[in-house]
Amino acid sequence: MEKSPLLLAILLFSLVVGSIGIVNPVNALVEEGVTTNPIPPGYGFIDFEEGVDGEVVASTVPGVSFTTTMGLDWIYADIRTGSYNARSLTDPSVNYGNYVVNGYFCAWLGVSGDQGRIDFTEGPASYFSALFSTNSGVTVDAYDSDDNLIATSGWADGNYGTYTFTRCTIEAPGIAYVIVHDTGNYWEIDDIVTDAPGVPREGLEDALREINELQIHLLVLYDEELIDDYKLNRMWHSLDLAYNLTANAMWYLDNERLGFDDLKEGMSSLYHAVAELEGLVDVIQSWVEQGYMAGELTEGIVEELVRIQLKLVNKAAEEAESEIMLAIDALEDAEARGKYVPWLWGQVEQAIMSFEDGEDWLDEGWLSKAIHYYKTAFWRAQYVVNRAYDWRWDIDIKDWIDLLEQDQ
């Protein structure tokens, strides 16, 4: 996963000046042999799963427009129809060929398209990443609003028949649109991640939906006598518990705004949900090692469990980062009102260090450890916000926080 902006640098600069402008460098990356596209906290995600097979994508996704290029439209493809040479990496029962899709949907340019444009309709992006299944190879070019080429991902070789994706990523300021192209109709796109304004951000509702879908998949396996009563009940119990914990997290965290009105109990619920699913992955892998369950049967289940965990971890990281920024704003405003609390800046620094520890553990793939540190960062930052307030001010603490959040 990409690192979030260096909050510590923002903090140190805030101590001296109070504001900062960050210019993002141009970076490009092509990664072969991947199956997922990590989502940095607060970034948008497009998986095409809400589409209708054969329908034009166009402007059906908020924040982007899949533009007609050379007279050809982007089209939704539902591989469950059996009409495509593709298989699902998350549902092994859907297997009709050698291109790959996460879930059931992807987008392509029809039988003769080789070049497709994606415009960011609500403002420029600085980050674009997508997964490609391709026979001929593919590349992504990024342009600014004046149609200047500002970055290219580099060429991604074909991966047909490897049953993996290639991930193409571009980071550059002022991306107005991207063009994806190859030398013919030999690629499809899935799982776009971007920071472009307006693009849907994944929420906990997505995690709940995916838990339900995984439970349905387990029932299918049970009906086909591919798993027994014990394995079904063991996996079902963990999924039920994770579902309830995630629903609790929504109650505590999904308020009108990120920040002060969110409750720390929500972060605890996210932590316990991730820990439960992480433990389930260990159990399933032990079944495979002991010969109690076929590896090819569990692969899709484990991948889906990890995807769900990542959604919960990303939510925790988003909440923690938002709370830290609110803490910085609260201290700056408190000092402007004449309250001098230098020791609270040290608490903010501790929160930032906890957040960065979470990022490090996330990079290592230890998700429960990562979310533990995000939770700690959240708690420390919220403590700072409360202590920065002075009851002698002529404004209620909730009204004060509302003003701070409106400026974020």
For the chain, give the number of residues: 408
Q: Which of 164, 194, 224 is the last residue of a domain?
A: 194
Task: Identify whether residues 125 and 61 lie together within a single domain.
Answer: yes
Task: Identify whether residues 211 and 104 lie together within a single domain.
Answer: no
Q: How confident is the model at residue 24 (pLDDT cuts 50, 70, 90)?
A: very low
Question: What would the mean pLDDT of 115-133 be, rounded to a whole number?
Answer: 94
* Count of domains for the chain: 2
Task: Identify whether residues 185 and 210 lie together within a single domain.
Answer: no
Name the strand (E) or helix (H) holding 149. Answer: strand 149-152
**Does 41 fall in a domain?**
yes
Q: Are 66 and 58 in contact (CB under 8 A)?
A: yes
pLDDT in tens, 50-63: 899 999 998 889 99
CA distance 348 to 313: 21
129 bridge partner residues: 169, 193
Q: What is the mean pLDDT of the chain?
A: 87
**Does 5 fall in a domain?**
no
Task: Please tell me the predicted confidence (pLDDT) of residue 350.
Answer: 95
Task: Identify whether residues 131 and 239 lie together within a single domain.
Answer: no
**Does 50 fall in a domain?**
yes
Task: Identify whether residues 175 and 233 lie together within a single domain.
Answer: no
Task: Please tell me the predicted confidence (pLDDT) of residue 25.
Answer: 58
Task: Identify whether residues 213 and 113 lie together within a single domain.
Answer: no
Closest CA to 320 of 349, 354, 343: 354
**Does 383 fall in a domain?**
yes
**What are the residues whose beta carbons fall under 8 Å from the beta carbon of 130, sequence distance 6 or more?**
37, 140, 167, 168, 180, 189, 190, 191, 192, 193
Q: Which of 155, 171, 194 is the last residue of a domain?
A: 194
Name the strand (E) or helix (H) holding 77. Answer: strand 75-78
Task: Please tell me the predicted confidence (pLDDT) of residue 255.
Answer: 54
Task: Identify whether residues 188 and 213 lie together within a single domain.
Answer: no
pLDDT in tens, 212-265: 989 998 999 999 999 999 999 999 999 999 999 999 888 888 654 444 456 788
Question: What would the mean pLDDT of 68-80 be, rounded to a whole number?
Answer: 85
**Does 166 fall in a domain?**
yes
Higher pLDDT, 253 or 388: 388
Q: How confident is the model at residue 349 (pLDDT cuts 50, 70, 90)?
A: very high
> Residue 386: helix, strand or coil by DSSP?
helix
Q: Which of 163, 194, 225 is the last residue of a domain?
A: 194
Higher pLDDT, 191 or 184: 191
**Does 16 fall in a domain?**
no
Task: Identify whether residues 85 and 105 lie together within a single domain.
Answer: yes
Task: Identify whether residues 215 and 184 lie together within a single domain.
Answer: no
CATH number for position 44? 2.60.120
Task: Identify whether residues 160 and 264 lie together within a single domain.
Answer: no
Domain that includes residue 243, residue range: 204-406
Task: Identify whether residues 215 and 338 lie together within a single domain.
Answer: yes
Task: Please tell me the predicted confidence (pLDDT) of residue 240.
Answer: 96
**Does 3 fall in a domain?**
no
Question: What would the mean pLDDT of 164-171 be, rounded to a whole number?
Answer: 96
**Does 95 fall in a domain?**
yes
Closest CA to 354 of 335, 330, 382: 382
pLDDT in tens, 352-386: 999 999 999 988 889 999 999 999 999 999 999 99
CA distance 2 to 38: 8
Task: Identify whether residues 105 and 234 lie together within a single domain.
Answer: no
